[in-house]
Structure 1
């Protein structure tokens, strides 16, 4: 591949990325209803994209997207015991409606809703700082992996599923997570355990990316949609965030969070 071809999409990617950063930062800073609405909208659009990949042209695509967004928006205001059935409901309903790839739809829709719920809960319970930490880990892992993969290249990580992902980019993503963890440990007074957790979050983000790549490979599409110029769709952009958010939601039940922060 010619050197110029490696970077021919960079300008568009940076422009779209800057817009996403501005919208995301505004929502995180505002918190509360604004952030909840933004996350619910993203969840709904991601399931809309998922259904579009699995069942192109199906008329129920919009309906399942709206149902998913509505469930995400309502669930965060309910006690956890009532929220969980609501978070699963769009997956069960869609399972009964779509004609094929039912298990794939159901599993990934649950992942989307749990990730959305996890992000809203993280912002509500721990504030701006720790929501920014999560975003920073995912972004650092993605950006360092992108540039290392194109500048260093080398052996492919899993060519059958994600042909462009290299081992150099994968390891660079772990280092990006470690760097963010180190920085936030210094800013917040957290212990060195935060560095290890940040690396684990970067790994989870890469798993989310690989899972979405596997779906696209399975159904034979390049992008989940064309909503985001230079990035494809929301699933293409936020696949890492899905894995990272679900991991943090689970990790909170296992280890003290934020790790090592003085009470």
Structure 2
């Protein structure tokens, strides 16, 4: 009996975060979906607020005592992204460099590393806004669906199948089963987008590539958390931790799609 109780307790513990995680995801998808639908300022504000929160979280990771400067840089990051979304591309790096530079200068150590992280975060956020404005909204939905499918499939496949760890030194919870499940889910999402909203067939293998970059963003954030000795970037989102914990994959995919789009069109 005791062994059976222990097994049941372990199973329930494995899925203990499912309800708050699901409810939070529903709220985020609802708000995010509405902002995508309306586009323009609505989407720019939604993404920019999220990025401002990420900037705040990153600076807190490396300098927990600098609460005031972290908040200020987060607010500045939000404002800079909103402004950048209305400026020509040539002016965007200058605008986004302001919160990046101030954030780095607020630290006494790890400045190069934080500069790289903030550059990725700000570029990924701007990429999402730019993609929605420059292309048909279906492309934005495709990108988000691929990232969400990757994350959801990775979560359930990893929890259900378990197995060999993907990179235990960096992200001890991630498994090969979850990683591969994310690739399969991304490809299937590509198939659905080809059939339903008539995206080109090449989007199927591109979806797998985007999935990999999404997972790369997640792994990069996991490495930062391991380095700084924290479990979550913050506790802003029940069941998910911080905004960075939730949007790291989206930022990796957003940065990739933006760079590919401006390079090859």
TM-score of the pair, normalised by structure 2: 0.93
Number of equivalent positions = 256
- Counterpart CA distance in 2 for 1:31 and 1:190 is 20
Show the counterpart of 2:108: 99
1:157 counterpart SS class: strand
**Aligned pairs for 1:103-252 within 5 A:** 103-252=112-261
What are structure 2's unaligned runs of at least 5 residues?
1-6
- Counterpart CA distance in 2 for 1:93 and 1:13 is 33
Confirm or deny: 8 A CA contact 1:52 1:61 kept in the other structure: yes
Show the counterpart of 1:259: none
1:21/1:190 CA distance change after superposition, 3 Å: closer
- Counterpart CA distance in 2 for 1:95 and 1:223 is 21
2:136 counterpart SS class: helix
- Counterpart CA distance in 1 for 2:89 and 2:137 is 22
User: How far did residue 188 of structure 1 move?
Assistant: 3.2
TM-score of the pair, normalised by structure 1: 0.94
- Counterpart CA distance in 1 for 2:41 and 2:252 is 24
- Counterpart CA distance in 2 for 1:50 and 1:96 is 14
CA offsets, 1:41-99, max 9 Å, x none?
Answer: 11111100111111002131111111111111101111111112112222122222211
- Counterpart CA distance in 2 for 1:196 and 1:84 is 31
User: How far did residue 191 of structure 1 move?
Assistant: 2.9
Confirm or deny: 8 A CA contact 2:232 2:241 kept in the other structure: yes
Confirm or deny: 8 A CA contact 1:9 1:230 kept in the other structure: yes
Confirm or deny: 8 A CA contact 1:207 1:243 kept in the other structure: yes
What are structure 1's unaligned runs of at least 5 residues?
257-263
Show the counterpart of 1:73: 82
RMSD: 1.2
Match of 1:46 among 34, 42, 54: 54
Match of 1:10 among 14, 18, 31: 18
User: How far did residue 119 of structure 1 move?
Assistant: 0.6
2:262 counterpart SS class: coil
Matched, 1:36 2:13: no
User: How far did residue 254 of structure 1 move?
Assistant: 4.3
- Counterpart CA distance in 2 for 1:221 and 1:95 is 20
Confirm or deny: 8 A CA contact 1:91 1:107 kept in the other structure: no
Confirm or deny: 8 A CA contact 2:54 2:243 kept in the other structure: yes
1:225 counterpart SS class: coil
